Amino acid sequence: MLNKLPVYKTEGIIIKAADLGELDRVLTIYTRGHGKIQVRAISARKKTAKLNGLLQSFTSGQFLLAKSKTLDIITDVAVMDSYVYLRNNLSALAYAYYFAELVDKLVVAPERDDNLWRLISRAFEVLNQKRDDLSKIRLAFENKLVEFLGHPSLNLWMASHPSLKSYGLASHPKPVQHGKGESLRRLTYLQSLAGERLNSYKFLAQVHK
């Protein structure tokens, strides 16, 4: 059946992976050629499957995909980087989950965007290195992501929202690194763009408390 479907290849980074049914996986991949896409890996969790163990979050590679009426189907992957340092460093991993959730929830349409691709791929390269300035990297990533998506800048939004009493601050996790007021205003704006909570921020805050 799959060999009758049109196929295409694209470079990408898996930003989210979830189990589907007994053996399948659903992947969210940010790709160089098509932007954010969601695909299905059939029987990928089967022990004898050639894709078993290769389709984890924070894996970059060349993906071979078959066109489908619903979710496109991944048929093969040539792994380029599994970001070993990132996976074994709790701080970098927390930032990776946060960056990935921002991309997943703020980027909507599957549309090619070279600026976003460079931002995301570079961010994961940086997180895969030993760094002591990850909080600054986070600020830069947030700023550029918002800019490239065409939203008002974080600084402009915060300047026009000096108080967050109407946003229920008591329910927010402890802010990360920099000033409490600034951090919460940034988080509130990003969550307003996402239309929901950024759950990974809690993990990030716990790692850096």
Specify the CATH architecture of the domain 2-81: Beta Barrel (2.40)
Alpha helices in 107-153 (DSSP H): 114-127, 134-148
Quick: pLDDT tens for 129-181. 999 999 999 999 999 999 999 999 888 887 777 665 444 433 444 444 545 56
- The domain limits of the chain are 2-81, 84-207
160, amino acid identity: S
**Could you tell me which of 42, 37, 47, 51 has the C-alpha nearest to residue 24?**
42
Give the Cβ contact number of residue 180 at 10 Å.
11
pTM: 0.88
pLDDT number for residue 121: 97
Contact 195, 147 (CB under 8 A): no
**CA angle in degrees (0–180, nearest 5) for 162-132-186:** 15
